[in-house]
Structure 1
């Protein structure tokens, strides 16, 4: 690892990103136009001390999880992300592996959706990030274990969820997820983690194994979701899944019909959590 090159790159990229670029309020006097170390550390989910050591070339062998988080926080392009990985002595994500990188354009879209619940998933339905309103609505904590962050795993292993499904809706949603996962396996054949996920699901869930073996792929349509939110109670929202072209990601957005009781409850959640202000 060239720790000096990594340190210089991190400082250069941090100076390049303004608070507005990162969706942060620009308050107080600044010596530079870029992000403060405290801001970047918070966005990447690492300690300020660790970031200081990285920027001073004193920290070695950062994990791929840390590198991915820094790449997202710094709004790096895919080419810049690969440069970050190589400077840290890590292998960039391969072409045959499910993408997890949120590009600058997608990040800017997310910045503008602060007043609605939104989350970003990979093509295999691993949760990458969610905004504060999503977390408040669903009662999600800040740290989610990798397996528990996979929507297919949660659905077929019975992890408790605030989303209320009828038996028919539960079955239909499961079939949609299996179809999506099969498409991901075909698209990213070199992703070892994806292969392990499928194998573990086949072993753990008879329902998943049955649907996986019937090879049926159902087209996905827009749905309404009933959510028993721990914060504001029962509400029904439109659920739309938007696909990004550059990173093959899934942006899931919940919206309420205007002037409805559900919209009022979402407004209450925003006010209570001071979200989107």
Structure 2
């Protein structure tokens, strides 16, 4: 019996399009999300979603299940149930979670005038708004398992998450803060296999990361001041603030410009002219 597909369809039907920013419209026949809408929110193809719902594919990856749970704004219990239906172990307290609660999603969706993204405790990119895609480039072009900000910072061999030129005005400090934040995550999730594998990969692939890791610093990456070299409007000075959400240690990154400045005008132009992507 295709319990995974049946449950997925039921949760798609109950999801209000307005809750995730889609217009209701008088011609809408679907009582919940359309397949193409859920596919867009989850970063998967419509054909793949159809196969999941129809039971023609029954072994989705952890990344796909996590993305579906976020898009459907599932509770913790519902998310764990979806994992088990997919034949996967639900993330325990010892493992980093990719779940973004419905309340957090509601808050960040209201920040239309800023570039916003949400990262897991290991800096795996989980969600971004259209402003982020417009300012930094569309992350959906990068395979989901490679959407990691630390990997993007230190390894030259991976596809770039930040497709536009980015310069920090505090030389070296953001890299050190990022490594210290990752070490802090090892204290919160000491048994995380995913985190351990990431650190091993970074030590082997980056002398710079290995040197900073050897320093043993522990801390939280809270803020930065960057110049984004946007291809359409030119360089934009932005403040980058990192907010942390609860025990899951989710990182909500918000990039904004100083009020009433030329940079604020350029940021608005960039957001208006940019990619139409949101997950």
- TM-score relative to the length of structure 2: 0.88
Per the alignment, residue 193 of structure 1 pairs with 194
Which structure has the larger Rg?
1
- 1:254 Cα offset (Å): 0.7
Per the alignment, residue 213 of structure 1 pairs with 214
Gaps of 5+ in 2: none
- TM-score relative to the length of structure 1: 0.88
Gaps of 5+ in 1: none
- 1:85 Cα offset (Å): 1.1
Per the alignment, residue 103 of structure 2 pairs with 105
Per the alignment, residue 84 of structure 1 pairs with 82
- 1:228 Cα offset (Å): 1.3
Query: Structure 1 200/46 Cα, relative in aligned 2: closer, same or farther at 3 Å?
Result: closer
Count of residue pairs the alignment pairs up: 272
Query: Structure 1 152/50 Cα, relative in aligned 2: closer, same or farther at 3 Å?
Result: closer
1:30-179 alignment, distance < 5 Å: 30-145=28-143, 148-158=146-156, 162-166=165-169, 169-179=170-180
Query: Structure 1 141/245 Cα, relative in aligned 2: closer, same or farther at 3 Å?
Result: closer
C-alpha distance in 1, partners of 2:221/2:12? 39
C-alpha distance in 1, partners of 2:144/2:4? 27
Q: Deviations over 1:35-59 (max 9, x none)?
A: 1222112222223333233323333
C-alpha distance in 2, partners of 1:51/1:146? 16
- 1:114 Cα offset (Å): 2.7
- Return 44-53 or 230-239, whichever deviates more: 44-53
C-alpha distance in 1, partners of 2:265/2:208? 38
C-alpha distance in 2, partners of 1:218/1:194? 16
Query: Structure 1 158/217 Cα, relative in aligned 2: closer, same or farther at 3 Å?
Result: same
